[in-house]
Structure 1
C-alpha cells in the first residue's frame, strides 16, 4: 500500500463504494426472483467482464498458473464458496426487507477483522480497539435482546465477508485474477442450476418480463464492475484512507433502508446503531494513530541513511523527502 493518496485512486475507490451503497435499489427490483437465481446470474455475467478486463491489461499469466495449481484451486474454491454465501445473504436480505441488518453487518465487518487478526494471527489489540469491540458486541446484544434472536443477517454477512477477506489474502494471485478464478470455479454449478430452472419452467431469464431479463443480465456489471474499479483504486490510496472510505457503503445502505425502503428503525436500533458508530469512530482514530506511528518510525529509520551521505550530518536530514526519497 502506498504512503500517499492520489486523486485518481480516491475517485476510483469512492466510485466503487458509492455503487455498492446504492446497489440495494438494484437488488430490490429483483426481490421477486429467488436469491439463488440472482446469484447464478451474478456469477455467469461476471465472467466475461472480468476476463475482458484481465485480457486487456495483459495479466492473464498468473491466472493460467493458478489454474494449473491444485493448492491454489483448492483455496480459491473455499473463497468462492464464502463469497457465494455472502452474496446470497445480501440479496435475500434486501429482498426480504432487512437492508438495515445488511448495513449493520458491513458496519461491524472492520471490527470483526480486528478481532480475527487478534485471534488467528495473535495481533495485540490496543485499548481503543478493545473499547470499539466491546461497544460493537454490546450493540449486537441489544438487538438480540430486543428481537429475541441473534441478528443472523448482520452476523452472517460479517462472518462470511471477514473470512473471505482473510483467506483471500492467502491466494497467490492479484485481486482481479483471484476474482475471475472464483467466478470461473462457480460457473459450471451456476450454469447447471439455471439449466435446471429453465427445464422446469421456473427461470426468469428470457422467460418472463423483459425488464427481469435485462436486470439479471446487468448483474454481471454491478458485481464485477465495482470490484475491478476498487482493486485498481485501492493501490493508489493509503490504508488509512481506505479504512475511512469503507464506511461510505454501509452508510448509504442505511439511508436507503430508512428513507426509501421505509424499514422500521425501532428503539433497539436507535441504541445499537449509535453504539456501532461510536465504535467505528474510536476504531478509526486508533487506525490513524497507528498509521502515523508507522510513518514516524519509517522516517526515523530513513533519516540516518540520508545523514550518512554527507559529512555535515543532521542538517542534511532536514530536507529529506521521507523514506521513499
Structure 2
C-alpha cells in the first residue's frame, strides 16, 4: 500500500471515530463539560505515557523539547485541541449536535485555505470549483441556522489551526500527542484536585460504569488523534480537509435519527452541495479526469 493510500485510510478511520464520539459524550452528560475535559486530558496523558514507556520511547521526549520550535508548537497544539474538545463536549451535552456538525462542515474551508495560503499546497481549477460548491453548501447551512454560529466557528477555527500545527511539526505522532497532553496536564490535574478539595467532584456520585467511561476517554481520545497525525504526514492538507466531511455527516445523522433534531429541505440542499464538492474533488484528484486536467492546468 502506498504512503498516500495509507494516509487516506488513517484519515477516514480518524474521522469515523470522531463522528461517533457524540454518543460517547452524551452518555456522560450529567457531568459538567469542564470536568469531562479535565478527565479526558488526564487519562489521555496517562495512556500515552504508558505506551511511550512500554515502547521504550519515553526518553525521546526530552530530546524533542530541547528544540524551542517544537516546544512552542506542541504547546499551541495542546491548548488548541483542548479548546476544541471543551467546545464539542459542551455543545453535544447541551443539545447543540447539529451546530457541532456545522462546525466540522465549516472547518475544511479553513483547513483548505491554510493548506493553500500557509503551506503553499497546489490548487487546480476543478479543486477550486469543488471548494466553491462546498462553500455554497456551508453558507446555506449557516443561514438556515438563523444566528451567529459561535459554537460552529469555534470548532472550525481551533481544529483547523490544530491540524496546521500537526502538518508543520516534524515529530513522531505518538511523541507529539504525549507532549500535547503534557502541556495541558498540569491545568487538568489542578482543576480536578480543586474539585475534590471543594467537594464538588462528580467522582463521589457516579457509578462504576460511568467512571470506566471517563477513564477510557484516554484511549478514545488518543487513537483517532494518532491516526490523524499519521494522515497529516502522508497526504496533502487540502485532501484531509475534504475527507473530514465524513465526521460531521455521521454526527449530523446521529443528531437527526438518534437525538431527534430537526432536518429540513434546506439542510438536504446544502448537504447536496457539500457532497457534490466532495465527489468532484475526489474524481479530479485521483481519477483519469484529474490527471488530464492536471496536464491542462500546467500547460
Shorter-normalised TM range = 0.7 to 0.9
Aligned to 2:125: 127
Q: Which residue of 1 aligns with 2:260?
A: 262
Larger helix fraction of residues: 2
* Structure showing greater Rg: 1
Query: 1:185-224 maps to which residues of 2 (within 5 A)?
Result: 185-224=183-222
In structure 2, the partner of 1:318 is none
**TM-score with structure 1 length normalisation?**
0.77
Could you tell me whether the CA contact under 8 Å between 1:143 and 1:150 is conserved in 2? no
Partner residue of 2:137?
139
After superposition, the Cα gap between the structure-2 partners of 1:121 and 1:78, relative to the gap in structure 1 and judged at 3 Å, is same
Shift of 1:155: 2.4
Aligned counterpart, 2:62: 64
Match of 1:84?
Answer: 82
- What RMSD in Å do the two structures reach over aligned CA positions? 3.3
Report deviation, 1:54: 2.3
Q: Work out whether residues 19 and 250 of structure 2, in 8 Å CA contact, stay in contact via their aligned partners in 1.
A: yes
- In 2, Cα distance between the equivalents of 1:103 and 1:51? 31
C-alpha change, 1:54 and 1:252, in structure 2 (3 Å) is same
2:45 corresponds to 1:47: yes
In 2: Cα distance, 1:266 partner to 1:205 partner: 40
CA contact (8 A) 2:38 2:191 kept: yes
Match 1:23 to one of 6, 21, 24: 21
1:128, 1:282 within 8 Å by CA — same for their partners in 2? yes
Contact 1:45–1:220, Cα closer than 8 Å, also in 2: yes
In structure 2, distance between residues paired with 1:290 and 1:42:
44
Cα 1:293/1:65, change in 2 over 3 Å = farther
- Structure 1 contact 24–253 (Cα < 8 Å) conserved: yes
The structure-2 alpha-carbon separation of the partners of 1:284 and 1:62, relative to structure 1 and needing over 3 Å to count, comes to farther
Work out whether 1:74 is the aligned partner of 2:72. yes
CA-CA distance at 1:244 after TM superposition:
7.1
Contact kept, 8 Å, 1:104 with 1:154, in 2: the verdict is yes
Q: CA deviation at 1:64?
A: 1.8
Q: State the distance in 2 between where 1:63 and 1:77 align.
A: 14
Deviations 1:270-318 (A, max 9, x none): 3322222222222222332599749x99xxxxxxxxxxxxxxxxxxxxx
Q: Which residue of 2 aligns with 1:165?
A: 163
Q: 1:217 offset after TM fit, Å? A: 1.5
- Partner SS, residue 150 of structure 1: coil
User: What stretches of structure 2 of length at least 5 have no aligned partner?
Assistant: none
User: CA 1:146 to 1:104, structure 2 compared with 1: closer, same or farther past 3 Å?
Assistant: closer
**Residues 138 and 274, structure 2, Cα contact 8 Å, conserved in 1:** no
1:252 corresponds, among 244, 250, 254, to 250
Question: Cα 1:63–1:290, aligned 2, differ >3 Å: closer, same or farther?
Answer: farther
- The Cα of 1:181 is off from its aligned counterpart by 0.1
Go from structure 1 to structure 2 and tell me whether the alpha carbon gap of 1:54 and 1:88 turns closer, same or farther (over 3 Å shift): same
